[in-house]
Amino acid sequence: MISAPRASLIARWLTVCSLAAMAGSCQYLGILAYTAPDPTVDPKYKGLADQKIAVMVWADRATEIDWPHLQLDVARGIQTRLQDAAPKKENEKELKGAHFAAPESVVRFQHDHPESESQSVTDIAPRLDITRLIYVEIQQFSTRPEESMELYRGSLAGNLKVVEVINGRAKVVYSEDSIKVIYPEKSPDEGVPAGSDMQMYEKTLEAFSTQIANRFMKHIEPRFQ
């Protein structure tokens, strides 16, 4: 028979061994998590294949005045990423046969029809001779933080709507609000001293266009950022 003190000692020893084993397992799992490949994420909307598509970007007057090419550049960025992804095997089902209206023609329509700014997107879409409209509303854009204008930090936020047009009738079938990007991604709120307005403009638009395009195609999403 094992004495009580000896039994207590054995119990403590087993507890220590068990905790050590658990710690080792956690470390091992942590290593596996960091070395495992980043996951492939499915698109949130899958209805672009074999469709006639336009990308329309809206911004308020003040933003248009400060950044006159913003709408066209964002639309081009989104469309270019989707067109580049279409031939890839993993996106064949989602994007095969998709045809895009020229972004310049969409911006021209907006400028020629200023009344469209006060109309619902479901009223606008049937007038574009398309079957799908990717509609982005720019909420906010800047290349410098308001708190410290001598520093740089790109910021862009917007809402996304997808409109399906069938037999002349339009319906919003997907929407997502407050999609936001920051450049540099991990920069402090007060900004960074290195950079320029043009660099912040281009890189922020690249990041935002990628985020929007990713809603429509398979893509790899980094697990740790």
Same domain, 81 and 20: no
Q: Structural domain of residue 76, as residue ranges?
A: 40-220
State the average pLDDT over residues 176-203: 95
- Specify which of 1-10, 17-26, 127-136 reaches the highest per-range mean pLDDT: 127-136
Mean pLDDT of the chain: 88
Q: Which long-range contacts (CB under 8 A, 24 or more apart) does 28-32 make?
A: none
Spatial distance between the Cα atoms of 16 and 8, rounded to a whole number of angstroms: 12
Which amino acid, 196? S
Same domain, 103 and 151: yes
| pLDDT confidence of residue 29 | 47
pTM of the predicted model as reported, rounded to 2 decimal places: 0.82
| pLDDT confidence of residue 220 | 81
Task: Give tens-digit pLDDT for 95-124.
Answer: 999 999 999 999 999 999 999 888 999 999
| pLDDT confidence of residue 92 | 83
State the average pLDDT over residues 127-155: 95
Least confident of 34-43, 137-146, 191-200: 34-43
Same domain, 28 and 44: no
Q: Does the structure show a pLDDT above 70 at 10?
A: no
| pLDDT confidence of residue 225 | 54
3-class DSSP assignment, residue 2:
coil
Nearest partner of 133 among 91, 171, 97, 89, judged by Cα: 171
Residue 8 or residue 159, greater confidence: 159
Question: Is the residue at 225 inside a domain?
Answer: no
Q: Does the structure show a pLDDT above 70 at 22?
A: no
Same domain, 57 and 157: yes
| pLDDT confidence of residue 137 | 97
| pLDDT confidence of residue 4 | 54
The percentage of the chain sitting over the pLDDT mark of 70, rounded to a whole number, equals: 82
Task: Give tens-digit pLDDT for 73-95.
Answer: 999 999 999 999 999 888 888 99
Same domain, 163 and 100: yes
Same domain, 61 and 98: yes
